[in-house]
C-alpha cells in the first residue's frame, strides 16, 4: 500500500496529506466522509451543509445524472496510472479538480475557508473563495497564493460600488481568476436550513437545540472557540465598523442579490484583466453570449441543487455548452461531484475540470482540519484509476472515451 501511494504521488506530482493512509482506513470514499460528518457535526451544521432546495430532489437528480453516464473502456493502452496535471487559464494545476465557492462554510465547520485554501495550496488545485465566506480575500491570498480564485455575488446599488471594490481587492491580492455568479437571480428558502434555525428571513439566534448540539460535538465547539463566531468576512466592512453578525446579514440582504445582467458582465470584464469565469450557465445560448463578451471560462452549474429542484442536472448540459463555445472558452463543471469517477465523466463530456463543494463540507465535518486534504487525495486517486481503467492516458484523452449519456440535453431539438 505504501509503495502504491508513493507511485501515485510521483505520477501526479501531488503532495499527499501526511495522514492519508490512516484516514483512508476509516474514510475510503466521499460517501464515508458524509456519514462521518453526520455523526460528528451538530445537527444544524450538517443540515446547513448537506441540504438543498425543496426536498433535495435537485441534489439527488444531480447525483443520479452523473451515475447514469457509462464509459466504455479500451484495454491495452494504459499499463499504469496516468498523469492528471492540467493547465487552466494559463496556469498548471496538479489535477483537473478544485474546491467550488461556498457560502458560509464556517457554519459547517468554523475556519473552513482557511482549511480549504490551505489544502488546495498544498495539493496544487484551484480554490475559489466564496464572496459570502468566512475569511477575507487578503487572508486567503496569503494562505493560497498559487491557487486562489475569487467568486463574486451581485452588489448593484451605488453603481456597483461594493462589487467593484471587492474586485479591486481581489486584484490587489493577486487572485488568479474572478467568478461571477449568475445562478442566483432570486433568493430562495431551503427547508432543512429553516427547520434548524440557520435559514429563512429572520435574524440569526442560537436556540437551545443548537447549544445542545454544540455541547455534544466538542471538536466543533473547540473549532469555534479558536476561530470565533461565523461572519461574512468580506461583506462585514461595508456594513459598518462595528457591525455584528445580524447587522451584516441584514445589510447583505439589502445590498446583495440578483443575477448579473449581460451589460454588467461586460462592465466587470472591462474592470478585471485576468481570467473571468461566469458561474451557473446551463443553456448553450447563454454560454455563447458570455463568450461574445470576452469571458474566459464557463462554469456549468445549477448551484448544487440549492436554489430550485426543477433545473436540469448540469452534467446533462455540458456537451451542448462545450459544443457551443468550442475553443473560445474553458468549460468547467460543478454540482454533484462526489468522486474522481465523476470528474472523469465530466472530462469525457468535454469539461476541462470539475469543482466540488459538498464533498469538502463533508470532509471537514468528518475529519476537521485534515478533511479537505484527504478529500483531494481521494478524488485524485479515483480520477487516476478511472482514467486508467477506461484507457485514457491523460485528462485530455478522456474526451476520446466512448460513452453512453442518456440524460444529455438536445437543445436544438427541444428549442429550435
Residues with catalytic function: 303
Strand partners, 256: 155
Residues in CB range of 385: below 8 A, 6 or more apart: 81, 340
β-pairing, 70-72 with 402-404? antiparallel
**Structure-block grid coordinates of residue 55:** 426536498
- In degrees, rounded to 5, the angle at the alpha carbon of residue 70 between the alpha carbons of residues 4 and 54 is 100
How many CA atoms are closer than 13 Å to the CA of 54, on its beta-carbon side?
A: 14
CB 305 within 8 A of CB 298: no
Closest CA to 20 of 340, 377, 379: 377
Give the CA radius of gyration of the chain: 20
Tell me which long-range contacts 368-371 makes (C-beta under 8 A, separation of at least 24): 368/109, 368/219, 368/223, 369/111, 369/115, 370/17, 370/19, 370/23, 371/33, 371/109, 371/115
β-pairing, 91-93 with 86-88? antiparallel
Amino acid at each position: 500500500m505504501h509503495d502504491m501511494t508513493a507511485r501515485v504521488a510521483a505520477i501526479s506530482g501531488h503532495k499527499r496529506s501526511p495522514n492519508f493512509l490512516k484516514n483512508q482506513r476509516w474514510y475510503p470514499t466521499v460517501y464515508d466522509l458524509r456519514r462521518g460528518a453526520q455523526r460528528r457535526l451538530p445537527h444544524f451544521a450538517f443540515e446547513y451543509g448537506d441540504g438543498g432546495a425543496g426536498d433535495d430532489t435537485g441534489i439527488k437528480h444531480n447525483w443520479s445524472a452523473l451515475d447514469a453516464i457509462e464509459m466504455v473502456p479500451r484495454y491495452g493502452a494504459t499499463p499504469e496510472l496516468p498523469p492528471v496535471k492540467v493547465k487552466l487559464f494559463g496556469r498548471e494545476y496538479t489535477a483537473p479538480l478544485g474546491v467550488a465557492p461556498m457560502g458560509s462554510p464556517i457554519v459547517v465547520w468554523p475556519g473552513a475557508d482557511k482549511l480549504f485554501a490551505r489544502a488546495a495550496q498544498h495539493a496544487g488545485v484551484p480554490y475559489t473563495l466564496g464572496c459570502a465566506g468566512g475569511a477575507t480575500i487578503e487572508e486567503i491570498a496569503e494562505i493560497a497564493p498559487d491557487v486562489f480564485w475569487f467568486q463574486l455575488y451581485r452588489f448593484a446599488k451605488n453603481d456597483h460600488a461594493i462589487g467593484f471594490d471587492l474586485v479591486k481587492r481581489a486584484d490587489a491580492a493577486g487572485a488568479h481568476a474572478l467568478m461571477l455568479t449568475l445562478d442566483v437571480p432570486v433568493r430562495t428558502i431551503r427547508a432543512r436550513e429553516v427547520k434548524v434555525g440557520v435559514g429563512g428571513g429572520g435574524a440569526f439566534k442560537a436556540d437551545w437545540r443548537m447549544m445542545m448540539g454544540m455541547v455534544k460535538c466538542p471538536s466543533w465547539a473547540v473549532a469555534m472557540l479558536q476561530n470565533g463566531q461565523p461572519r461574512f468576512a468580506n461583506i462585514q466592512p461595508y456594513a459598518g465598523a462595528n457591525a455584528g453578525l445580524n447587522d451584516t446579514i441584514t445589510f447583505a440582504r439589502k445590498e446583495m442579490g440578483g443575477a448579473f445582467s449581460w451589460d454588467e458582465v461586460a462592465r466587470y470584464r472591462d474592470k478585471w484583466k485576468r481570467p473571468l469565469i461566469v458561474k451557473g450557465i446551463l443553456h448553450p445560448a447563454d454560454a455563447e453570449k458570455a463568450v461574445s463578451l470576452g469571458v474566459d471560462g464557463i462554469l456549468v452549474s445549477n448551484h448544487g441543487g440549492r436554489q430550485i429542484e426543477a433545473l436540469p442536472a448540469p452534467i446533462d448540459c455540458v456537451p451542448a455548452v462545450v459544443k457551443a463555445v468550442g475553443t473560445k472558452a474553458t468549460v468547467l463543471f460543478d454540482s454533484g461531484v462526489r468522486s474522481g469517477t465523476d470528474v472523469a465523466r465530466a472530462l469525457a463530456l468535454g469539461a476541462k475540470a470539475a469543482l466540488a463543494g459538498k464533498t469538502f463540507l463533508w470532509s471537514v465535518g468528518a475529519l476537521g482540519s485534515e478533511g479537505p486534504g484527504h478529500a483531494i487525495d481521494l478524488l485524485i486517486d479515483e480520477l487516476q484509476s478511472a482514467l486508467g481503467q477506461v484507457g485514457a492516458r491523460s485528462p485530455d484523452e478522456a474526451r476520446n472515451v466512448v460513452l453512453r449519456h442518456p440524460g444529455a440535453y438536445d437543445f436544438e431539438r427541444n428549442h429550435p
